Amino acid sequence: MSSRPFFNLLRRFSPVALCAALLSLPVRAAEDASARRILAGDRLNITVREQPDLSRVYPVAGDGTIDFSFAGRIVIAELTPGEAARKLEKALEKDFFKEATVSVSIANFVEGDVMITGEVASPGVLPFRGDAILTLMEAIVRSGGLTPDAASEHVRILRWAPGGGMERETIEVNVKEMSESLDYSRDQYLRPRDIVVVPRRGETDAASEFLALGEVRSPGFHPYTPGMDVIKAVTLVGGLGEFADWDKGRILRPRKDGTYTVIPVDLGRLFSAADMSVNAAMEPRDIFFVPSTRNVVGQQVYLLGKVKHMGAFTFSSGPNATLARVLLEAGGFAEFANPSKVQVQRMNPDGEKKILTVDVKSILNEGHFEHDLPLQDGDVVIVPETLWGPGGI
């Protein structure tokens, strides 16, 4: 049957009315959560019949692993819950149990906006949760459709590569061909925190712009000028957004094979400590990306000793994720605390424990925040007791 009568029918409606009708459709929910693959940022219900104290909710870290108690860190991302259960059973049976019975379900799905930028009518973000289904074509429609200047043959999806590093993989989709042939078999399912870039026609060969994405005041394409660096780029885009993840900025620099070189940029060090060594040079066609703390799974430290509120404390990374600031945010010191000799116990990647001693009293009394210690996920902070009475500052 010819599709022409169908398109003749569509011509009776204005583009605005058509878009409004499509935008009113809800994001489809996945029908079978058990078949959905686990993503970094998910939280999992894991039950072990033979060891009840292992049965709890486990967060999936950015590198795709969970900290499975005495079994250590186990890569679990990109598996279905059923596959993950079998993998955990094998890990337990290898060294600890003759037979293990494990069940896995997703307690909380990772959430993260899908950002769509470039030549669409309404660039912006689409709130998205990992148990929903959203395709590239649906995202384009929800953003008002393509503009006449869109290079729809070269639409790109930038996605975090597995492994928890800073690499993004690029998926290029020929939207023009799909639309003309009505063959949507090559449409792509989107994931939380994907970035969709629709370039302008002729832009794929241009060398006079860079693209700003994420928590910047003016996302999109901006003119490149010789000698541009990160400070100049931040100024040009109007500064950073309210939820900018300051210490995880990065520059994605395109390679000839279509992948990207990733250059980390610690914006906290650059703007708070005036460390010009991280003021990287920009190049034409770079992507300057500042992630959002709203999409980051909270990091935790453990506060012990003479603090007003002992226990786990969740914080977001950024220029304020330092020892003195976190202690203040968590309620401060208890009576008889010795803030001059606060200890931070940290586990190195090789498994060796490292102990750092910080004079938090001096930092707070004299304002020497340049000596403050950036905290890491899993740090244990111990505030000792003074031998000479109350140790207030």
Long-range pairs for 366-370 at CB < 8 Å and ≥24 separation? 369/322, 369/324, 370/273
Question: Which range has the worst mean pLDDT, 27-36, 288-297, 381-390?
Answer: 27-36
Q: Where are the domains of the chain?
A: 33-108, 226-293, 299-383
Question: Which range has the worst mean pLDDT, 26-35, 67-76, 202-211, 222-231?
Answer: 26-35
Q: Helix (H, G, I), strand (E, B), or coil: what is residue 254?
A: strand
Best CA proximity match to 158, nearest among 114, 102, 103: 114
Q: Which residue has the tokens 């939820």?
A: 243
* pLDDT for 121: 87
Q: How far apart are the first and last CA of the chain?
A: 82
pLDDT digits (tens, 9 = 90+) for 230-253: 999 999 888 888 888 888 888 988
Superfamily of domain 33-108: wza like domain (3.30.1950.10)
Same fold, 226-293 and 299-383: yes
Q: Helix (H, G, I), strand (E, B), or coil: what is residue 51?
A: coil
- Residue with more model confidence, 30 or 260: 260
pLDDT at 295 over 60: no
Best CA proximity match to 369, nearest among 268, 293, 245: 268
Q: Give the predicted TM-score (pTM) of the model.
A: 0.47
* pLDDT for 388: 59
The architecture CATH gives domain 226-293: Roll (3.10)
pLDDT at 258 over 90: no
Instruction: Give the integer Cα–Cα distance in Å for 278 and 107.
Output: 39
Reported in sequence order, the residue ranges of 109-167 that DSSP labels E, i.e. its strands, are: 114-118, 124-126, 132-133, 155-160
* pLDDT for 18: 42
> Are 393 and 339 spatial neighbours (Cβ–Cβ below 8 Å)?
yes
Query: Position 71: which residue type?
Result: A
Instruction: Give the integer Cα–Cα distance in Å for 116 and 123.
Output: 6
Question: Average pLDDT over the chain, rounded to whole?
Answer: 78
CA 347 to chain centre: 23
Neighbours of 272 (CB within 10 A): 18
pLDDT digits (tens, 9 = 90+) for 314-337: 776 666 788 998 998 888 998 889
Instruction: Give the integer Cα–Cα distance in Å for 219 and 239.
Output: 10
Question: Which range has the worst mean pLDDT, 29-38, 230-239, 278-287, 345-354?
Answer: 29-38
Q: How confident is the model at residue 277 (pLDDT cuts 50, 70, 90)?
A: confident
pLDDT digits (tens, 9 = 90+) for 137-186: 888 888 888 888 888 888 888 877 655 455 567 788 888 888 888 887 88
Distances (CA, A) of 192 to 39, 45, 144, 158: 9, 20, 20, 11
Q: Tokens at residue 308, please?
A: 């007003």
Instruction: Give the integer Cα–Cα distance in Å for 286 and 383.
Output: 45
Q: Which fold has domain 299-383?
A: Outer membrane lipoprotein wza fold like (3.10.560)
pLDDT digits (tens, 9 = 90+) for 173-230: 888 888 888 887 888 888 887 888 888 776 554 457 888 888 888 887 788 888 899 9
